[in-house]
Amino acid sequence: MGTGANKQRLSTGLTGVAGEYFVAAELSRRGYIATITLKNTENLDVLASRPDGLKTVGIQVKTSQDSGKSWVLDKKAETHAKENFFYVFVNLNGAEKQPSFHVVPSALVAKFCSESHREWLAGSKRDGSARKDTDMRSFKDPSNKYLSAWHLLGLGSGNAI
């Protein structure tokens, strides 16, 4: 690729699809069974399983083209706290670097989104007026606590090389 291609931004749709494929590839590389779901599967992008099939988890993938530590969600994230449901937040890190993955249990995402939104809503606009409620939420991992935390999926060690 030439230098001009490196500066070109992906569409939102391609960014999301790239993240899903990177997550499935990383899970496969680690020895797990991973499949990308059809687009009409609400809130579920990847299914991952132990090779013996004894445990399966559902994954929602959120992808950023850059290397930031914040991802946009909607208010549904506050209610999707399920034991075998996880978020994998992907940073594509531009075209020249490998992506990074933040693996977070859905219960932690739900709690973070709920608490941070409540704090934001309690604040005020620059002009001092009250903020209006919105469906937008965000998740942040500023300390990289969940960076490459694949063990949180609870799938065991896989058969990775």
Rounded mean pLDDT of 46-67? 93
**Contact (CB, 8 A) for 37 and 45:** yes
- Local confidence band at 52 (pLDDT 50, 70, 90 cut-offs): very high
Helices (H) and strands (E) in the chain — how many of each?
Answer: 3, 7
How high is the pLDDT of residue 10?
Answer: 82
Which pTM does this prediction carry?
Answer: 0.87
Alpha helices in the chain (DSSP H): 3-7, 12-29, 106-122
How high is the pLDDT of residue 66?
Answer: 81
Q: Mean pLDDT over all residues of the chain?
A: 89
32 has pLDDT over 90: yes
Task: Report the percent of the chain where pLDDT is more than 90.
Answer: 68
Nearest alpha-carbon partner for 4 in 71, 95, 86, 80: 95
97 has pLDDT over 50: yes
Kindly report the number of other CB atoms within 10 A of residue 101's CB atom. 20
CATH architecture of 3-145: 3-Layer(aba) Sandwich (3.40)
Q: Residue 149 in 3-state DSSP?
A: coil
Nearest alpha-carbon partner for 148 in 92, 108, 88: 88
How high is the pLDDT of residue 1?
Answer: 38
Rounded mean pLDDT of 102-130? 93
2 has pLDDT over 60: no
For residue range 124-159, list pLDDT tens digits in order.
Answer: 889 999 999 999 999 999 899 999 999 999 998 665
- Local confidence band at 65 (pLDDT 50, 70, 90 cut-offs): confident
Task: Report the percent of the chain where pLDDT is more than 70.
Answer: 93
Domain residue ranges of the chain, discontinuous segments joined by +: 3-145
Q: Residue 147 in 3-state DSSP?
A: strand
